[in-house]
Structure 1
């Protein structure tokens, strides 16, 4: 693939595959059963598939304990805790629209973190674009909000936990050692997520996750989640972090709510109302503005500190 097509391809793949996670979750919910157990099997199957790919390639992997430990932490945060909080919130009665609204504000957290923790100064155009995109997400979700008070008060903290862990995990993943290949990194991240969900099932039920039901609908959801959402979503996520960093990758997440809404309309017949279309336009405009700021290299590097005197 020509070099100038790599970043657009990775960005498109990230938006589509990340959006597929919400579609796959709906498919899993329609199939019935314990979503925690299903997600645990999803990540285990995806990790085994990565292990098979490593074996097929035949290249002897360089598995240093430091690199593996780094990816296990990344997988626990970016995949395990992030999705566990989302699934748990929805199961407790938090509206999916409210959950999507809070978690989709993660790019603002990432931009703020890059500014405060790493001293990067984001240009006004970048802030304006990010805020406009966030407003678009609010408009998208506002039209779908129903029964906002139907869950315990503490359950509304779970989407916040999800957004925070993804931000922290993104910053952590960006500094990953370069000793592991893309598939090897994904292998350990997905394995960590499988453990997180297995522990969650064990704590809730006192038993390990049961084998998925012998139902075509359930296995369709698992295959969908393994291929598109796990391998595709987190594969493109890791690639985007390496190619463009945290700020750019987080901006792509703004595009997932309108993409998911359109996908759900095509697959499930869900209706996209006026607020959904208006929000999608705001999101697109905001992302374009923020990307223009990034492409102009308007992010000012941190000031050089005065060296300590001898």
Structure 2
């Protein structure tokens, strides 16, 4: 005899699979392929065949699709590891948690709010459920996840300063400190860059977390604040620099100020793999298939 399956009309069906996924993975030794997990859930709960073979409007397996959605929220919450391609695996956090339906709902609403903020979109809970019913969770994540620059612009001023300090450490600077002092001429921190065992110099840095343009005057003010205190300065912004600001930073006869705009900042985070994960993307090579195309 099979257990009663969830109602087909219940849009929040995927919320029921949070804990069953964790249970299935524990039984599978901590990891498993997606279909293995779905099959184990179906076996554990004795779901009837008519429920398991139901399709979405796009022809996808509704049960497995909903299990994949539940898995996606567990990844976002840190209960499953997303780093292994094609394999679902428990994190230590996931091994030691029990999620009831109310917990699942809270997780769902938390991440809905995060993604709505990223997309600047407002949808009802019912609309989101319907959207998920026919969508691939991994594609949805790629489409809704904010870009790195947007995330950096949403950090607190203090948080952005700490991120810049971390980037400098990853780039070879030592003794990096965020001063956090006001009325210091715009100096947000300092560090030491060692060129070789014999030569090193102090560097001051300023962090500007906004989407606007840094002006010539702001570069000049920063240089004046660093005179007599360090050999070099760096201004890091999530915005851009005006052409006059760039000229001022490189003006002859004055200490050079290095400028890092939002575009360069993103490249540096990517190179250091700070807060980002490398992802391989395959493009179709049409020249390969050309001789066989109709």
Q: What TM-score range do you get, normalising by the shorter chain?
A: under 0.3
Larger radius of gyration: 2
TM-score (norm 1): 0.22
Which structure has the highest strand share of the two?
A: 2
TM-score (norm 2): 0.23
Which structure has the highest helix share of the two?
A: 1
Tell which has more relative contact order, 1 or 2 (C-alpha 8 A, sep 6+): 1
